[in-house]
Structure 1
Amino acid sequence: MPSSLARGAAKDGHTAMSGACMWPILQHHEPDDFVLATGETHSVRSFVEVAVRRFGKEIFREG
Structure 2
Amino acid sequence: MTGGTLSAEDRLGACGDDFYDLLIRAHDGLDFTASAALNVRLLLILANEIGDFETLKAAVQRASEG
TM-score grouping bracket, smaller chain normalisation: 0.3 to 0.5
Higher-helix-fraction structure: 2
TM-score, with structure 1 as normaliser: 0.37
* Structure with higher RCO (Cα < 8 A, 6+ apart): 2
Q: Work out which of the two has the higher radius of gyration on C-alpha atoms and give 1 or 2.
A: 1
